[in-house]
């Protein structure tokens, strides 16, 4: 682990960016993401034909090659993004995370600004946060639509959120020091561009080892409290 792995200062300068899936809710609730992935595979099947199994393989291939399944569908099949999300976000087909009072307490203890930075359309994470009763702790959601449908790990996604933070008056435009931006993510692939920009990186994943460039590694969001250092 890097030399930075001694603690994150919990102060007013911090901009906390949380991925949603498998970060705000953890691996123990993977069934939430599975319900969405099932719906995505159904959309792929509806778009390209074939069996559900072959559509699932195409979903995984697009995710690997393009960063998101949607990016693959847009590039290979001309899919309109809102058509995709309108289909996969039908609530009757989805499962949402459980109420999470400990997470609410943790999030509200974080000084500074708190946002969600997600490769989904915002209604999915907002619905999930409402089910978890975390929505009062998050200021806003920076979603795939605000990224012009080109999400993490594309560099443009990180450019766009930095400009968005500047426009909100949260990040100084002339700031060359970006370590006050703390990105919490379950995906190393999505953390790497943040590391290259000088952001503080937190891998939230119990199943993989962190390379040396990751600043902090925790198995679950609630373990973040163990990494916090408060100035007195």
Rg (CA), the chain: 18
Domain map (residue ranges) of the chain: 8-25+99-229, 30-93
Beta-bridge partners for 142: 117
pLDDT at site 5: 52
In degrees rounded to 5, what are phi and psi of residue 123?
Answer: -65, -30
List of residues 6+ apart from 119 with CB closer than 8 A: 67, 68, 144, 147, 151, 152, 190
In this prediction, residue 174 carries a pLDDT of 83
163 Cβ contact partners less than 8 Å away, ≥ 6 residues apart? none
The pLDDT value recorded for residue 6 is: 77
Which ranges in the chain belong to alpha helices (H)? 30-48, 52-66, 69-77, 81-88, 101-109, 122-132, 155-167, 188-196
Q: Which CATH superfamily hosts domain 8-25+99-229?
A: HAD superfamily/HAD-like (3.40.50.1000)
The 10s digit of each residue's pLDDT in 187-205 is 999 999 999 999 999 999 9
Residue 231: the pLDDT is 66
The fold of 30-93 is DNA polymerase; domain 1 (1.10.150)
Please say whether the beta carbons of 153 and 192 come within 8 A.
yes
Distance from the Cα of residue 24 to its chain's centroid: 8
Distance separating alpha carbons of residues 221 and 206, to the nearest angstrom: 10
Q: How far is 218 from 232, CA to CA, in rounded Å?
A: 25
Q: Per-residue pLDDT tens for 103-133? A: 999 999 999 999 999 999 999 999 999 999 9
């Amino acid at each position: 682990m890097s030399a930075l792995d001694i603690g994150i200062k919990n102060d007013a300068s911090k901009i906390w960016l949380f991925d949603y899936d498998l970060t705000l809710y953890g691996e123990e609730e993977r069934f939430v993401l599975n319900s969405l992935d099932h719906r995505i595979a159904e959309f792929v099947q509806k778009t390209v034909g074939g069996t559900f199994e072959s559509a699932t393989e195409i979903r995984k291939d697009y995710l690997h090659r393009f960063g998101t399944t949607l990016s693959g569908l847009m590039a290979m099949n001309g899919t309109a993004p809102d058509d995709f999300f309108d289909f996969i976000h039908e609530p009757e087909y989805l499962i949402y995370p459980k109420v999470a009072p400990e997470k609410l307490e943790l999030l509200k203890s974080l000084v500074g600004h708190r946002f969600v930075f997600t490769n989904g359309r915002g209604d999915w994470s907002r619905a999930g946060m409402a089910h978890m009763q975390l929505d009062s702790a998050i200021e806003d959601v920076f979603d795939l639509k605000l990224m012009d449908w080109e999400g993490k790990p594309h560099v443009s996604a990180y450019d766009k959120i930095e400009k968005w933070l500047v426009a909100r008056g949260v990040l100084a435009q002339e700031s060359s020091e970006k370590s006050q931006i703390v990105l919490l993510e379950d995906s190393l692939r999505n953390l790497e561009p943040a590391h290259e920009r000088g952001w503080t990186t937190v891998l939230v994943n119990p199943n993989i080892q962190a390379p040396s460039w990751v600043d902090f590694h925790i198995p679950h969001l609630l373990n973040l409290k163990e990494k916090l250092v408060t100035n007195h």
